[in-house]
Structure 1
Amino acid sequence: MELPAQAVAATALIEVVRISFLPAEPGTPYPGEVLAHWVGKEAADALALIESLPGSEQHRCGFSPGWSIRAYEESLDLPLFEAAFCFRCHQVRMHGTAVPPAPATQFFDADAPSAQSLLVLFRETAL
């Protein structure tokens, strides 16, 4: 999966969000509870895992994401990007100041070991 390279390099903190519903307007943060903050090696490892997700074809479910990450630089001002993951339709939607239009919607193999590892990381934040 392709993440914005400059944003990945600048990421100092990741928020893990359990999404409660879709945002009212495109480009606004996905509503939900922030369950964890990842910094340092933990954030870098998570981003590397996400970048390793293999591509897939689109599946139909209507896009109902359960999890998102918000990546912030040192200033912790606005997110560099937010990526919302739907493990049913194998879709990731991204938005933010560092996201060009081309990779804004991507598809990943939700059954791949790397995707299942990411899902386990997300679920562990809810414990």
Structure 2
Amino acid sequence: MQLPAEAVASAVLIEVVKISALPVKRGAPYPGRTVAHWAGSELARALTLIQDLPGSGQHRCGFSPGWSVRAYEDSLDLVIFEAAFCFGCHEVRMHGWAVPPALATQFFDADAPPARDLLALFRAASA
């Protein structure tokens, strides 16, 4: 999966959200409960897993994401990007100031090892 290079370079914190609903409008934050904050090696591991997600074709499930990550830079004021993951239809939707339109919707192989590892991290964070 492609992440904006600028976003990866400037991210210092990821907030992990267990999504409870879809946002009321496109580009709004995904509502839900924050279950973890990752920095340092946890941040690096998560970004590597996300970047290592192999591409996939689109599957149809209606896009019902369970998890999102919000990346922040040093100021922690503005979200660099938010990526919402649907492991049912293998779709990721991203928005934020660093996300070009070409990267806003991507598809990943939810059965690949990096996807399974990322899902395990999400689940462990909410345990």
Q: Calculate the TM-score normalised by the size of structure 1.
A: 0.99
Match of 2:111, as an amino acid?
A: D
Aligned residue pairs total: 127
Alignment partner, residue 7 of structure 2: 7
Alignment partner, residue 28 of structure 2: 28
Structure 1 stretches of 5 or more lacking a match? none
List 4+ stretches of structure 1 deviating above 6 A. none
Aligned pairs for 1:13-92 within 5 A? 13-92=13-92
Match of 2:44, as an amino acid?
A: A
Cα RMSD over matched residues?
0.4
SS at match of 1:119: helix
Q: Calculate the TM-score normalised by the size of structure 2.
A: 0.99
Shift of 1:117: 0.4
Alignment partner, residue 114 of structure 1: 114
For 1:45 and 1:115, the matched residues in 2 are separated by 12
Shift of 1:34: 0.4
User: % of aligned pairs identical?
Assistant: 70
Shift of 1:41: 1.2
Shift of 1:78: 1.1
